[in-house]
Amino acid sequence: MPGFLLHAGATVICSHGGQAQPTASFPRVKVGGQPIVTQSAPYTVAGCPFVTPGGNPLPCVTANWVTAATRVRAGGLPVLLQDSQAVTAPNGVPLNVLVTQGRVKGT
């Protein structure tokens, strides 16, 4: 399914509201003046407020992308799209892409 390409400045959060940022981007390709992100780049999550039912903090720390573009690649790697799916560790909840550029689509 087509979706807008994800760039390094996109607003991405975990399901609990923690801010997620890519650990690396692909600087040779830019959209909206910002480098895109490929599937190989894990995300770090900061500020996740999740607490277990027992009252112990267990925040999301990292996330890995499990789906990406099937037809668009950068440097031989699939690029991330607005509808790409990621799973956080250690909680296993998805990341949500809230805002990204709205001009360049991929599939």
pLDDT of 70 strictly over 70: yes
Q: Do residues 70 and 78 touch, judged by C-beta distance below 8 A? A: yes
Is 70 exceeded by the pLDDT of residue 6?
yes
pTM for the model: 0.94
Mean pLDDT rounded to a whole number for the chain: 97
Q: By the 8 A CB rule, do 41 and 51 touch?
A: no
CB 84 within 8 A of CB 78: no
> Can you give the pLDDT at residue 2?
87
pLDDT, position 17: 98
Give CA–CA dist 4/45, Å, rounded.
22
Q: Label residue 90 exposed, middle or buried (CB < 10 Å: 0-12, 13-18, 19+).
A: exposed
Q: What is the mean pLDDT of residues 45-56?
A: 96
Domains observed in the chain: 3-101 (2.60.200)
